[in-house]
């Protein structure tokens, strides 16, 4: 009886965590370069012995790990000269207040000194340092990430890539950082840059809505089972105890 309460609770906990992941996905459906995530939930059997010394099993359910879907999001045309998108594999390298981080969000602009920056003010890194341009002149960004003004090269965007499957930690603002310190970046080779475009969020709204409804109904079923076990336990304590008395 008590075991039934614990079993229901163990089933409800990962479902709450899954709902958190889905809610985060849906909240970022319009966030440039955002990558949706989901939760791996695994079950395993615990082998116990009952009063007759016979083997018995109970099933535990627990959250295993968060899985991030790094598939490319849809291409969105903006025609803005400092909006750039990576087609293919790789990440923009940026210098934040917390150090170097990586992102697929190419919504860039210029600071007062003409240095290319992200929407939150982090500096975008080129292969030879920050890229500075003349704020008054038009800019062309080629497919290999070279920034040109009057046919003069101002630098090349540093597009980094990592060993797949990726193992990153989310840092907010669609930014990532490798989980392992020895997971060093390397120059990406399978990409092209598209100027005047942004990569949209890869969140699949319909899929996430279906998962939200499904996990909610499962949570609701576990909740009912918990109430049923609680009522049974209450009767056992209050009514059976009185008969025995």
Is 112 found in the same domain as 152? yes
Is 225 found in the same domain as 173? no
Per DSSP, the residues of the chain read: -HHHHHHHHHHHHHHHHHHHHHHHHHHTTTSTT---EEEEEEEEEEEEE-TTS-EEEEEEEEEEEEEE------EEE---TTBEEEEES-EEEEEETTEEEEES--B-EE-TTSBEE-TTSPEEEETTEE-B--TTS--EE-TT-EEEETTEEEEEB-EEE-PSSP-EEEEETTEEEESSTT---EE--SEEEEETEEEPP---HHHHHHHHHHHHHHHHHHHHHHHHHHHHHHHIIIIIHHHH-
The tens digit of pLDDT for each residue in 169-186 reads 999 889 999 998 889 999
Does the pLDDT value for residue 241 go beyond 60? no
Is 120 found in the same domain as 169? yes
What is the total count of domains within the chain?
A: 2
Residues spanned by the domain of 125: 75-199
The tens digit of pLDDT for each residue in 3-57 reads 555 565 666 677 888 888 999 999 999 999 999 998 876 654 454 555 555 544 4
Is 127 found in the same domain as 213? no
């Amino acid at each position: 009886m008590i075991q039934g309460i614990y079993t229901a609770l163990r089933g409800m906990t990962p479902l709450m965590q899954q709902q958190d992941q889905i809610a985060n996905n849906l909240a970022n459906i319009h966030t440039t370069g955002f990558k949706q995530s989901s939760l791996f939930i695994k079950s395993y059997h615990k082998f116990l012995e009952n009063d007759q010394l016979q083997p018995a099993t109970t099933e535990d359910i627990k959250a295993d790990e968060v899985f991030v879907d790094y598939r490319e999001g849809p291409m969105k045309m903006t025609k803005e000269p400092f909006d750039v998108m990576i087609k293919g594999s790789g990440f923009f390298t940026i210098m934040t207040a917390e150090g170097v981080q990586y992102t697929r969000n190419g919504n860039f602009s210029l600071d007062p000194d003409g240095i290319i920056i992200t929407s939150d003010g982090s500096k975008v890194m080129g292969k030879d340092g920050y890229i500075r341009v003349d704020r008054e002149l038009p800019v062309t960004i080629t497919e290999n990430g070279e920034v040109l003004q009057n046919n003069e090269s101002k630098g090349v965007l540093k597009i980094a890539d990592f060993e797949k499957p990726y193992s990153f930690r989310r840092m907010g603002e669609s930014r990532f950082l490798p989980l392992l310190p020895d997971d060093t970046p390397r120059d990406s080779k399978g990409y092209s840059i598209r100027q005047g475009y942004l990569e949209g969020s890869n969140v699949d709204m319909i899929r996430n809505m279906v998962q939200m409804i499904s996990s909610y109904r499962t949570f609701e079923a576990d909740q009912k089972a918990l109430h049923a076990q609680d009522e049974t336990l209450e009767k056992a304590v209050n009514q059976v105890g009185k008969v025995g008395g």
